[in-house]
Amino acid sequence: MVKVCVILGGGGHSRVLIECIQASGCAQIAGILDAEPASWGQIIQDIPVLGGDDLLSEMLIRGSNCFTVGKGSVGDADPRRRLYELGLKNGLEPLTVIHPSAYCSTWAKVGPGGQLFPGSIVNAGAGLGCNVIVNSGAIVEHDCKIGDHVHIATGAKLAGAVHVEAGAHIGIGATVRQGITIGECAIVGAGAVVVENVPSAVVVFGVPARQHQKVAM
């Protein structure tokens, strides 16, 4: 069966996502839905923004059978989680998107709706939950366990057996030492070097990374 995909959410993240889908040939793109009315009617890399999320059931009738989340997360995974759950609620299948230049070991597991962007690496024994982003050039080493809705940003590096719990955000260029646990909804700042476990719902940054505040929930 041909996969016909709706992208939920526009913006910069969706640009790279569109390229990944087209380069991999994993699906046809039916269009983009976005909650922001100002974006309706815009064209993002030849793909139209058709309207709001209320059109999702209509897209299903028109022949769309899968979805992917076109929004990234900058320290807040909740919008991505809500869009993912919206797609499921409307009976669409989450599309897993892997760019041809990404490397994913045959001994790794990428959950439903996962996105592996150009130059990313997911090595043997790693397990990714649903709706996870491994952004351009990021590395997830062997035996890492990544929870649902996690965003591993551009160029971040997770050493072996790192555990990242659901909803956490690993910032651009961050490095996480082997065996570390990053708690649920925690934020690791850009360029941080994490050498100790990070509690849930806190923000850490610096070299070495230190806790600076709690995440507003």
Rounded to whole angstroms, how far apart are CA atoms 79 and 101?
Answer: 28
In which element (H, E) is residue 12 found? helix 12-24
DSSP string computed for 30-93: EEEE-S-GGGTT-EETTEEEEE-GGGHHHHHHTT--EEEE----SS--HHHHHHHHHHHHTTPE
Which one of the listed residues 13, 99, 142, 163 is annotated catalytic?
A: 142
Strands 145-146 and 109-110: unpaired
Rounded to whole angstroms, how far apart are CA atoms 146 and 168?
Answer: 9
Q: Is 163 a catalytic residue?
A: no
Residue pair 80/73 in contact by the 8 Å Cβ criterion:
yes
* Tokens at 203, concatenated: 């923000």
Rounded to whole angstroms, how far apart are CA atoms 29 and 142?
Answer: 33
Greatest extent of the chain over all pairs of C-alpha atoms, in Å: 52
Q: Which residues are catalytic?
A: 142
